[in-house]
């Protein structure tokens, strides 16, 4: 396990070399002024004390209405929705609420870097399935072979960070069959639910009743509303599973800041707060691809998230860690290497670019990379 995350390392390098930072996954533009005004409104109204442990009822009701609109499903806002301090806190809490010493958890890698440490913190044992470039698809027959009597949970992530791949209806059907007669829970990381492109529809586990009965689905307001620093997320699960989550949630954060919850509750009722996100980010993806089209790298077009992978193996035989450092130091552009998203000492030749940036920033990066 890394002592310093790759994100911290690359951020420090980026700052030291005054690089254009296309590495870390956050927008360099602000969130909606309407939402900021609502935060100020509720702050000025004195919403400064503890919120209810599971979240402000108004926000949970707004989320239930959003889920009905997005996925045509009924969710009980009182028993099935829990507001969390960001998606990562939700993921950590879910894993530690469900996994015990000796339990096995299947993880698809490359994977968001909090999964494996959270499993180990709970005393569990990660069982890793390594997806392969360039498409990073899951072979469910291999997943089936990884299942044992100790398998407690399978973690999925779609749209997928860091690869930009998405799960299809066929994938969800395969997963449904896989757990149909097994006592296995699903943790579905869906924080990029609205960042999905080319007419593809997000396949939430909540749309599949047999999976939903055994699943936690995790979402992020930060990814949806361009304010990752607010650390606001939520988890959706059946009442029995939500109670297990809340039993631990109450002891690690208890509740999430109140005035932002009230603001989000009202903001979600407004029109066009998230409906246009796929179009918005698809344009940014395409701008990045077009602007960097002359790079001597191979790419597979991102299907979701705000990340685009580039394969530099035709240009350099360096590993991705060294290549990423070289790009910062010699060309002033920061990216994120992919190998840290694997548990094994795997050699990779892919770097991740974040396109949640203004065109000015992407143009600056393109100018610097034009010397490759």
pLDDT in tens, the chain (372 residues): 446 789 999 999 999 999 999 998 999 999 999 999 999 999 999 999 999 999 999 999 999 999 999 999 999 999 999 999 999 999 999 999 999 999 999 999 999 999 999 999 999 999 999 999 999 999 999 999 999 999 999 999 999 999 999 999 999 999 999 999 999 999 999 999 999 999 999 999 999 999 999 999 999 999 999 999 999 999 999 999 999 999 999 999 999 999 999 999 999 999 889 999 999 999 999 999 999 999 999 999 999 999 999 999 999 999 999 999 999 999 999 999 999 999 999 999 999 999 999 999 999 999 999 989
Instruction: Please work out, in degrees rounded to the nearest 5, the angle formed at the alpha carbon of residue 220 by the alpha carbons of 215 and 146.
Output: 35
Residue 311, phi then psi, degrees to nearest 5: -100, 115
Give CA–CA dist 22/26, Å, rounded.
9
Report the side by side order of strands in the sheet with 307-311. 307-311, 350-354, 336-337
| In the chain, domain spans | 6-31+275-369, 33-267
Q: Could you tell me if residue 176 is left (phi over 0), alpha (psi between -120 and 50 degrees) or otherwise beta?
A: alpha
H or E stretch covering 20: strand 20-21
pTM of the model: 0.97
Quote the DSSP letter at residue 138. Answer: -
47: helix, strand or coil = coil
In this structure, what are the phi and psi dihedrals at residue 24, rounded to the nearest 5 degrees?
-70, 145
Which residues have CB under 8 Å from 219's CB, separation 6+? 87, 190, 191, 193, 233, 234, 235, 236
CATH topology (fold) of 6-31+275-369:
3.90.1150
Q: The domain 33-267: what is its CATH number?
A: 3.40.640.10
């Amino acid at each position: 396990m890394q002592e310093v995350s790759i994100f911290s390392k690359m951020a420090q390098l980026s700052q030291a070399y005054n690089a254009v930072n296309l590495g870390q996954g956050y927008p360099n533009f602000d969130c909606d002024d309407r939402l900021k005004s609502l935060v100020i409104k509720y702050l000025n109204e004195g919403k400064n004390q503890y919120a209810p442990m599971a979240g402000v009822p108004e926000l949970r009701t707004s989320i239930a209405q959003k889920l009905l609109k997005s996925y045509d499903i009924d969710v009980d806002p009182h028993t099935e929705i829990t507001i969390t301090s960001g998606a990562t806190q939700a993921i950590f809490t879910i894993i530690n609420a469900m996994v015990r010493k000796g339990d096995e958890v299947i993880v698809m890698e490359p994977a968001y870097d909090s999964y494996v440490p959270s499993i180990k913190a709970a005393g569990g044992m990660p069982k890793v399935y390594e997806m392969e470039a360039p498409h990073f698809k899951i072979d469910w027959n291999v997943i089936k072979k990884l299942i044992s009597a100790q398998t407690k949970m399978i973690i999925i992530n779609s749209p997928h960070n860091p690869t930009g791949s998405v799960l299809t209806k066929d994938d969800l059907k395969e997963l449904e069959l896989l757990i149909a007669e097994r006592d296995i829970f699903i943790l579905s990381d869906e924080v990029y639910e609205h960042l999905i492109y080319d007419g593809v529809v997000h396949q939430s586990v909540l749309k599949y009743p047999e999976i939903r009965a055994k699943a936690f689905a995790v979402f992020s307001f930060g990814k949806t509303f361009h304010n990752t620093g607010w650390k606001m997320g939520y988890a959706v699960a059946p009442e029995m599973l939500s109670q297990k989550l809340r039993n631990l949630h109450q002891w690690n954060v208890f509740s999430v800041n109140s005035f932002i919850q009230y603001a989000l509750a009202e903001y979600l009722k407004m029109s066009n707060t998230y409906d246009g996100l796929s179009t918005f980010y698809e344009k940014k993806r395409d701008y990045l691809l077009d602007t960097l089209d002359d790079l001597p790298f191979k790419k597979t077009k991102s299907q979701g998230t705000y990340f685009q992978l580039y394969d530099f193996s035709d240009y350099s035989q360096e590993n991705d860690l060294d290549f990423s450092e070289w790009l910062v130091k010699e060309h002033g552009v920061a990216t994120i290497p992919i190998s840290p998203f694997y548990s094994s000492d795997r050699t990779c030749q892919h770097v991740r670019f974040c396109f949640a940036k203004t065109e000015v920033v992407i143009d600056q990066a393109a100018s610097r990379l034009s010397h490759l």
